[in-house]
Amino acid sequence: MENRKTNLTRRFAIRQSVWNLHTFCVRFCILFAFFLLAFLILIRTNFLHTPPFFSSRFTLPLPSSLPSSLPPSSSSSAPSSLPPSSPLSFSFSSVVHFSNFHLPFRIQMPFSSAVAFPCAGRPVLGAVLVMSRRNGTGAIRREAIRQSWGRTAPKDVVIRFVVGNASKSERKRAEKKEDAFLEAEQRKYGDLIRCDLEDTYGNLHLKGCIF
């Protein structure tokens, strides 16, 4: 009899613990769902009724509120007065014209002479400049280009090979021989451009800068 009462007491305690845990989980889920729903409603309300962040700082004027004319710029100084604008808005009329602004250097090219004296002969749409070496390897590669994609080039596109002078290490042993081959190649194809520059790897970028 004593053991039976003990077992019943244990079972009742276990059931009570399980029921308490079940009740706690249900209440926690209900509270979590309630707070999640309230958070989503709050975010949706703020998103619909609050303007974006950037629009409160940068407000472009409407076309009707734009000034009829911008302040004139003077060659000697900037405009003395600017139209008032609020600190939290942007207006195109508040742009200051810098009349004395200049670049530190300027590249001047005689384009007028190129227009006044156009290329003679057939019209040319474009030119392809290929940087090539003056040695035998360069000659083999030039011939490969002529026999491959150079042959299928359009008629209004010309292909020219840029070749430099012999380097200091090549002048003693192969300069005269290579010059003879280059002259023969020029007489045969007429597509070589020789520049007064040592044909070395370090001067490869200077070939392109010349043209």
Q: How confident is the model at residue 58 (pLDDT cuts 50, 70, 90)?
A: very low
Q: Give 179's DSSP letter.
A: H
Say which residues have a Cβ less than 8 Å from residue 72's Cβ, sequence separation at least 6.
Answer: 79
Task: Determine the Cα–Cα distance for residues 48 and 200; give it in Å rounded to an integer.
Answer: 67
pLDDT greater than 90 at residue 141 = yes
| pLDDT tens, position by position, 186-204 | 999 999 988 878 777 777 7
Residue among 110, 111, 156, 132 at smallest CA distance from 208: 132
Write down the pTM of the prediction: 0.42
CA distance 94 to 96: 6
